[in-house]
Each structure stands twice: as structure tokens, then as C-alpha cells.
Structure 1
Amino acid sequence: MSPFEVVLLFSAGFLSSAVNAVAGGGTFLTFGAMSLIGIPPISANATSSVTQFPGYVTSTLAYWSDIKTFWRSALWLAAISAVGAVIGSLILLALDNPSFRVMVPWLLLGATTLFAAGPWLKPKPREGGEPVSSATGTIAQFVTSIYGGFFGAGMGVMMLASLGLTQAGDYHRLNALKNLLATVIAAIAIVIFVGGGVVAWLPAMIMIPGGAMGGYAGVWIAKRVPQIAVRIFVIATGIFLAIYYFWTA
């Protein structure tokens, strides 16, 4: 691996966590950096799950005081998320790289559109106590978790939107639940991807320290850089990657 590739991957890890702290969408950067240095798309997708996982864990811990108030009622959605993540991850492993590569630009366009619509999809505060598990909520979370296990970009926005429609509680309660379920989905996906031998460990080890630094720097960025500027950067990255995959398909 050349010095340029090392710098690119480390920078992607750093920026990924930084933009996640401000606006989300960091998966575009890690997936894109690995794609640009020639890592096959299935491996790049799986490795992005590994690099994003520490951020999911720390985000969940940050909301731990909230999660403790409803963890029993969240267990059902966590179990549904685990099953969906297994299905999505196994579907990914069942594909070969050429087949997945054809799907990637469309997935990127969909995820970019979802991310761009994020501000309009944020749930409004709702009255009520603990999150409730309805049939609609179960189905929505199951579908979201399949997508998350298969291709994680945009999963957080999708999940927050569906939880806002199906679960009780204010924004912070819903965001806490989203972080918890995202951690479950990512953990299951990583276990399956590691077992399938598709994780590129050297790039992951380069990006993870950058991500740790980026998560801390994200707080500084959030105070000084307008969120709209970060969102435009992430959307532009998603569009660029989609065009790149359409062009090279």
C-alpha cells in the first residue's frame, strides 16, 4: 500500500467520523476511499461496517441514561434488527463482486437522496411514554435492518424516519433507540462479514484511528462549520461515487 493510499484511508476515517458527528453520511467517505484504491465493492462495504462500528457504540453509550428507561421494550426491536441484519448480510455474501458492483451506483443514488431528504424526514416530537412495538413498527424496522446489513449507507436516516412514524417519544428518545438498533445491526453484520472473509483488515486498521480522532474533532467542526456545508459535501461525495460506479461498471 502506497503512502498516498494510507493518507487517503486515514483521512477518510477521520472525515467519516467528523461528518457523522455533524450531519451523518460518513459511510460514503470510507466506502468511497476504499473503492478509489481498488478494493472490491463487497469488501469495501463490509469493511465500512467495521470502521463505523466504534461510532455506533459511543453514540449508544452517550444515550445510555435514556436507553435504561426503555431497554426492556426495545428488546423486541433489537431482536428483529438482529434477524434482519443476518438476512441482509447473507444476501450480500451470496453475491459476487460484479453483480454487487452493478447495484452499487443505484444504492448510492438512493442513499444520497435519502440523506439529502434527511432534514425533512426527522421525526417531530410525539407525546407518549416508552417506545411501543406495533406490527407496522416491527415490519419497518425489519426492512430497515435488512438494508442495513446489506448496505449501511443511509441506514440511520431511514431508521430515524421509520421510528418517528411508529414509536412514541421525543426526538432524543428516538435517536437513542436508533443508535442502539444500529449498533445491533452493525455488530451482526460484522460477525457475518468476518466469517465470510470479506473484511479488508489493513484498510480498516488505518481508518479506525483516524475515525477516533475525527469523532473528537467533529465537536469542534460542529461549532464552527455550518451543517448545510457538511451536508452538501456528503451529498456531493455520494453523487461522485455513483457517477464513478456508473462510469466504471
Structure 2
Amino acid sequence: MTLGELCLLLGGGLTAGAVNAIAGGGSLITFPLLVTLGLPGVAANVSNALSVAPGYVASAVASRPDLAGQGRRIVSIIPTIVVGALCGSGLLLFTPRSVFDFVVPFLLLLAAVMMAFQNRLRALAGRSHPRRSSRQVQVVVFLCGLYGGYFNAAMGLLLIAALALVLDEHLRRIAALKNVFSAVVGMTTVLTYSVFGPVNWAAVAVLAPATVVGGYVGAKTARRIPPEALRWTIVVFAVTVAIVLLVT
């Protein structure tokens, strides 16, 4: 690994950790960066998932004040999201690499669209909704875990939008839940990919500590960071990478 690659990974990890803590979507920075540095699609996805997981944990710890009173809900949902993440990880690892290479540009485009409409998702999260049944909550969380286990990018945005549809909670409390569930998915994929995945441990060794620092700082300073310019930069970056992957 060259000094330039080291600096790119360090900067990408810090930025991705902060973005994940604020609203999700940090993997739209780190996953394309790993692909750009020459990693195959599955290896980049696996290495990225391991790298951003510690940042999710740091964000969850920093979100503790907004988790007050949600302990029972978290305990009831964790098994479902773990099963979803395991199913997604299994799809990634035990289906042909050609399937992932075909699907990933479209997943990147989907993630970019979610990032582009982030404000609308936040507005949706701020509305009042009738309380949904526990079964609907479990189904939604399972599908989010499935997505996160297969392709990590923009999982936080998906969780915010999905949880807002099934829970009548303030955005800050939904974002705190998002951080916890992202951490659960992250740790599940860490355990799975560490054993079965084609991990590039050198990249993980640089990215993981950077996402921890970025995630903790991002969660603490979210209200003071103007995200608009960064958001659209990430959208353009993700769309560009998706188009390159489609035509190559």
C-alpha cells in the first residue's frame, strides 16, 4: 500500500464514519474508494462492511441519550435484524461473484437516490404515523438487515425511512435506533465475513479506526455540520462509479 493510498483510505474512513453517524450513506464513500484502489467487487464490499462496523458502534454509544425508554424494543428487534443480516451475508458469499458484479451498480444507484432524497426521508421520519403492529416492524427490520448483510451502502438511510413508517417516534430517537441496528448488522457481518469472506485486512486496518473516530465525532456534532454540499458530492460520486461499473 502506497502512502497516497493510505492517505485516501484514512480520509475516506474519517468522512464515512461522520456521514454514517449523521444520516447514513458513508459506505458510498468507502466502497467505491476500495473499488477504485483495485479491489474486486465482493472483496471491496466485504472489506468495507468490516471497516465501517466499528464506526456504527461508536455512533450507537454516542446516541445513548436518545435511546432512553427503548430498551425493550431494541431487545425484541435485534434477533430479527441479526437473522436478516446473516441471510444477506449468505447471499453475498454463496452466490456467484458475477451476480454481485451485475447487481452492485444498481444498488449504488439506489443508494445514491436515497441519499439525494435524504431530506424527504427525514421529513417522512418527522411525521406522525399510527402505531403499526409488531409483525410489521419485524418484517421491515428483517428486510433492512437483509439489505445491510448483502450490500452495506446507504443502509442507515434505508433504516431511517423504514423505521419511520412503522414507529411513531421523533427523528432523533429513530436516528438513535438506526445507529444501534446498524451496529448490530455491522457486528454480524464482521463475524461472518471474518471467517468466510475475502477480506483485505490491510484496508480494514486503516479504515476501521478512522470510521470509529469519524462516527463518534459525527454523532456528537451532527447538529453543527451543514451536510448539503457533502451529500450531493457523495451522490455524484456514487452515480459516477455506478455508471463506470455498468460500462466496464
State the TM-score, normalized to the length of structure 2: 0.89
- Aligned residue pairs total 245
Report what 1:188 is aligned to: 188
Q: Which residue of 1 aligns with 2:149?
A: 149
Matches of 1:221 and 1:76, distance apart in 2: 28
Give the partner amino acid of 2:142.
Answer: F
The C-alpha deviation readout for 1:75-96, integer Å capped at 9, x for no partner, is 2211110110010000000123
| TM-fit CA distance, 1:125 | 4.9
Where do 1:133-172 residues align within 5 Å? Answer: 134-172=134-172
- Shift of residue 141 of structure 1? 1.1
Distance 1:61 1:210, change over 3 A: closer
Q: Cα distance, 1:110 vs. partner?
A: 0.8
- Aligned pair in 2 of structure 1 residues 211, 40: CA closer, same or farther (>3 Å)? same
2:235 paired with 1:235: yes
CA distance in 2, matches of 1:132, 1:56: 27
Deviations 1:197-233 (A, max 9, x none): 322110111222333444466577974x632101111
* C-alpha deviation, 1:179, in angstroms: 1.3
2:75 paired residue number: 75
Give the direction of change, closer, same or farther, for the CA distance of 1:174–1:133 in structure 2 (3 Å limit).
farther
Question: How much does 1:118 deviate?
Answer: 1.7
Please tell me whether residue 209 in structure 1 is matched to residue 195 in structure 2: no
Q: How far 1:21 sits from its partner (Å)?
A: 4.3
TM-score by length of 1: 0.89
Aligned to 1:178: 178
- Quote the residue 1:36 is aligned against: 36
Equivalents in 2 of 1:22, 1:72: separation in Å?
24
Unaligned runs of 5+ in 1: none
- What SS class does the counterpart of residue 38 from structure 1 fall into? coil
Residue 109 (structure 1) aligns with: 109
Task: Name the aligned partner's letter for residue 154 of structure 2.
Answer: G
- Amino acid aligned to 1:207: L
Deviation of 1:14 after TM superposition, in Å, equals: 2.2
CA distance 1:235–1:222, shift in 2 (3 Å): farther
Deviations 1:82-131 (CA, angstroms, capped at 9, x unpaired): 11001000000012333311111111001111121121112015489xx8
Answer whether contact 1:127 1:170 (CA < 8 A) is retained. no
Q: Tell me, what secondary structure is at the counterpart of 1:169?
A: coil
Aligned to 1:54: 54
Question: Mind listing any 5+ residue stretches in structure 2 that lack a counterpart?
Answer: none
Cα deviation, residue 168, structure 1: 2.6
Deviation at 1:28, TM superposition (A): 1.2
Contact preservation (8 Å) 2:128, 2:168:
yes
Structure 2 Cα separation of the partners of residues 76 and 174 of structure 1:
16
SS of the residue aligned with 1:181? helix
Aligned-residue offset at 1:46: 1.2
Aligned equivalents of 2:111 and 2:183: distance in 1? 19
CA distance in 2: counterparts of 1:83 and 1:46, whole angstroms? 18
| Structure 2 residue aligned with 1:200 | 200
Residue of structure 2 in register with 1:92 after alignment: 92
Q: Is the 8 A contact 1:77 1:133 kept in 2?
A: no
C-alpha spacing 1:220/1:78, structure 2 compared with 1 (3 Å): closer
